[in-house]
Structure 1
């Protein structure tokens, strides 16, 4: 019988970078589930009384990245296979925040706000009403909650310690707002055991994540099921979400990221429907959306979405 392993955040469970040399915090079998909470991107959790609890990475990295729980070693996972991550449950905690301006990066420089005072929006999260609220001057702003994890990744095959900031072929900081509850993410496995890690709760985000943050929030509960798939041969992440099938592209050049996402989608359409590449491109042109996932993680992201409402059936030649 599959098991569910439950974890409560502690320093011993957290790390801030990727490495295929990190020791797993838990060995699980294919088909088992993991359940955990997450802290916020600032490596802490703020109680409702204002008390701030700080956490640290057990790996003592020189350069910290996102706080991630893991890695999890999945028995039977080998390079060339695929890790299926079923996102069963996501529940944001009571608060979140995001910022804009106040520092130099390419998008702030282009918008002319690098030298402006940093603005922070503090959000109150109401899971019952499914909204997050904040104030901007005399305005009260409410947005729908669309919780997802920004970081879901397996360890890369390359040696050394790797930043969590750029997404890569084995996942990581994908920051795709479509990876909501009920989604299935597929990641290439590059090392034995997969060494899966996750974190970076987002309560809501627009495509692009244009200020550099979503509503960065701790999560009260995350439940994922990890399954090794020997029948899937992929080289980039793909997902099956409520919005549709998704393929991804990551590159410093947005055009190259677009081509990667589109190539992945064309290949998926061929796989699903058994048609030629040019036929798949023609079909994609009328029903696939290309979206900018994020522009702020060094490697820009593009995702292609094939909606589930496309109706395709074989022609009955006897009629």
Structure 2
């Protein structure tokens, strides 16, 4: 998704509204939630990877063609998010992107605490305490000028 600013926007770096996220947990069956900063969305997709490790450290991954891509779009009017999040086979994921790796970690963690409050009704303090026990923080990428971190809450972390 493009930011709501005039001009040409690079697709190289990840950003609050999407971009080159490069998270290996975004696989078939994942649901990616993105903020929509511009009317009409203007979504684009590309840069498929057949193999990539956590913490993409250079511009190298095993690129693969995306000849057949099946995407379904659903507009959720009452979803108010400021960063991407995803529901994947690995669990719920929140992202943080920033030039500073520490700041990217805090952004991803804050997003996860928000999500834990929404999903389970925890207070902020409860979510923060439980995050130390259940949430895995991973480096998404250190390449492209913007650092990426994703926080993963495995689906089996809590029993409803």
Fold match (TM-score > 0.5): yes
CA apart distance, 1:284: 0.6
Please point out which of 209, 213, 216 is paired with 2:56: 209
The structure with the greater share of residues assigned to strand is 1
Hey, what does 1:243 align to over in structure 2? 90
Structure with bigger RCO (C-alpha 8 Å, 6+ apart)? 2
Q: What TM-score, normalized to structure 1? A: 0.49
Alpha-carbon separation, structure 2, partners of 1:229 and 1:303: 22
CA apart distance, 1:210: 1.8
The structure with the greater share of residues assigned to helix is 2
SS in 1 for 2:112: helix
Please point out which of 103, 124, 135 is paired with 1:277: 124
Please point out which of 235, 254, 257 is paired with 2:101: 254
Hey, what does 2:74 align to over in structure 1? 227
Hey, what does 2:12 align to over in structure 1? 165
SS in 2 for 1:197: coil
Please say if residues 2 and 9 of structure 2, whose CA atoms lie closer than 8 Å, have aligned partners that are also in contact.
no
- Listed one character per residue, the Cα deviations across residues 86-138 of structure 1 (whole Å, up to 9, x for unaligned) are xxxxxxxxxxxxxxxxxxxxxxxxxxxxxxxxxxxxxxxxxxxxxxxxxxxxx
The structure that has the greater radius of gyration is 1
SS in 2 for 1:224: coil
Q: What TM-score, normalized to structure 2? A: 0.97
Structure 2: gaps (5+ residues):
none
Hey, what does 1:304 align to over in structure 2? 151
- Listed one character per residue, the Cα deviations across residues 50-84 of structure 1 (whole Å, up to 9, x for unaligned) are xxxxxxxxxxxxxxxxxxxxxxxxxxxxxxxxxxx
Hey, what does 1:191 align to over in structure 2? 38
- Structure 1 segments (4+ residues) deviating >6 Å: none
Structure 1: gaps (5+ residues):
1-153, 314-319
Aligned pairs (5 A) from 1:1-319: 154-313=1-160
SS in 1 for 2:14: coil
SS in 2 for 1:281: helix
Alpha-carbon separation, structure 2, partners of 1:267 and 1:211: 31
Q: How many residues align?
A: 160
CA apart distance, 1:182: 0.2
CA apart distance, 1:311: 2.7
- How well do the aligned residues superpose, as a CA RMSD in angstroms? 0.9
